[in-house]
Structure 1
Amino acid sequence: MTHSDFFKTALAAAMSLSLAGTALAAQKITPLSNIALAQLASDKPIGKTDVVATFTGAMPTGVTVTDNGRIFVNFPRWGDDVPFTVGEVKAGKVVAYPNTEVNQPDNSRPADRFLSVQSVVFDGQGYLWVLDTAAPKFSTPVPGGAKLVAIDLKTNRIAKTIVFPASVILPATYVNDVRFDFRAGKAGVAYVTDSSLSGTGGIIVVDLATGDAVRRLTGDRSTSPEQGFVPVVEGETLLQRHPDGTTAPFSVASDGIALSADGKTLYYSPLSGRHLYAVSTASLRSPDVSEAQLAQQVRDLGEKGASDGLESDANGAVYAGDYERNAIRRMTPDGKWTTIAHGPQILWPDTLSVGPDGYLYFTVNQLHRQPGFHGGKDLRQKPYSLMRVRIDAAPAPTR
């Protein structure tokens, strides 16, 4: 056999084996008509989440759980029919809190009525604090309406109202979330994020004894939307999509906020971004630290995922939602992140709250399905939910 004949024979044998292999492989393919999606590998849930409550009316944002297990939620006036903007979850229902009257908006009495509440926070000292944006539908805040209101949980009566001074409420200010520390000042300090949609973000520091307030880090990189941030939620780029076909970026400033267990560090992040920032609370409060100096002290702790709410616990962990990944994440004191809850039902985790029972509570409100992101079409599917995941930790102390 010549070399040429040998190679011809070998090539023919190889082709024969290849064709045979192809035939065998083809015989193993299931016909398209018999394929069921349920038989294929799919995204795995992480953690065991429980549904605590559902909401068939307005869309909730904030939640807080008190030391004796009372649960409060709020419903900002963004466009839904909102009969009351602060409520308590009781016996499977949500009722106006502390009463119906104070929940009726009245711009002629801006300090006395809840106009549009974005956050409710239990302070660990027997009071529920209500953060009123006074900016229904993200309008310019009603003069004299942006405020912090303390409600005595023993009497269910308003005990204190602090109206933010005009010097810290800019035309585009949208006060978003708040944390309290009663180890600082005569009667404590509140730290509030400004999550402006069209202006500049910042941190507002409030003296609870006097009501005096100052803005810090206004327009700083850490309180501003991240440059080049393009979020993807449910497989779709999140943009403001107007009915006329035009679009605009999803650009929201400082939003989530959490206070370390020792009160020395404030954590925060823009809603439009994935990085977590931290700064000394002593420096935030000090009039001797200039804005330039304060900006230099801000620490970028790296990416945590794109989150709405933040929270902390007594063990030094920090929690963040991840609305791009339908998840809740935890950063341990050594700076390592892990996912503690993930699943297809966690459609935009919003506010987080550590309860007295070792659970982390969080609202799920499908924020990204609102009409403003879909050309005027409301894609939200009721009910909205309040969920929880076990963390085996207590709330961070405030005193």
Structure 2
Amino acid sequence: MPHEVIMPALGMAQDTGKIVSWLKSSGDPVKAGDALFEVETDKATMEVESPADGYLTDVQAEAGADVPVGNVIALVSDTAESSGSFRQAPAKTDGVDDAPLPDGKAVIMPALGMAQDTGVIVAWHKGLGDAVAAGDILFEVETDKATMEVEAGADGFVAALLAEVTEAAPVGDTIAIISAEKPANPVQRSVTDNGAAKPVAAPDPAATAKDQSIPAPRKAPKAQAVTSSDGRILASPKARRLALEQGLDLIRLVEAGHPQPFQVADLEVLRTLPAQTAGHATTSSRRLIADMPTDGFGAFAAWAAENTDLNDANALLAGLAATSLGRDAATIAVESFGQSRAYRVPSGPFSAITKAEDSSVPDLTLRDLRMSRVSTVDLGAEDAPVLTLMQARGGLSITLECAANQLSANAAIHLLSEFAGRMEQPLRHLL
């Protein structure tokens, strides 16, 4: 069966991508992961990889062409011959609802991976008629590999929501509209109203636990299990959250050779694993401490406030913490003086850091106790890893606490070492 090669979205507000060049020709043999072509938007140029082994066929766009996001532009087939079964991108239609869509900026379903066809709406963070800023989180989307928050991409008002929670929307389809003026008649539709994908039923953990036909674990030898280069456990945010809430240890899946990244469905496999025998139980939590003779952050924050527009010290702390995590983007909660503020830290300069909703689920919490008399903490694991800053003999002490299923031992050591180095010499790590 041919595999589709789609035009990916390199940004939340991207509508089209320009094909810079084809790196393979029609009929060429390709392997999964081979670069097929280069695509360019107004912000980036990247290579698009083959989703499978086979032959490149049915190329539909030449170099220099602008292609709408989500359109199928080629196939990877079992033979070098044209398949003759090319699927054109679905036509946009108002479906059964005759109400016209309001004018405004279209928000599309982004592609989180090269082989992704759809994304499932996990939650809408804004409702019809709500005012939004470009950086506000509009919705959460989940694929088989990740869950991420998607920003509105424009200032205005939510004029249309074109997909419901738990529905799978095709990549590139418009799923919301942001209008400049407050809409008089906002539009609410489901994906099925537009003749697209069907709703995806949300799993019932209680019912699944009682179901005797629990899916068998995916078979994968330990040597072939996918792991991150730094030893971090790969799992979707939703799977991590549910595992923590239900007291499940993802390390047991790693030890069993279950392939990563872990998804919510893999938690059922985890529940079926044999109970651990005495002497083989994994550590339930981790606690690491780093002591430094000097704290270079104060001087760095003063320099940034004087020479740049970066005058929010907590945002700078969030930036250093997120960079230490080694992710493209992260939500960091900074707690100081009894108050908490969440920050969304994307890849790139610290000037791009924005305040997130206080209700946002953080990837990491940074607790600043440098102005308190507390000298030691041992509070145990929380919903996300916690870095605590304290004064220590004129210098700085940093304690990392996390559950074992949040970070592997190597990942915990890497995070604390990276953050400690950045707090000691912030400028050196930014250059």
TM-score of the aligned structures, taking structure 2 as reference length: 0.22
RCO (CA 8 Å, sep 6+): is it higher in 1 or 2?
A: 1
More strand by share: 1
Higher CA-based Rg: 1
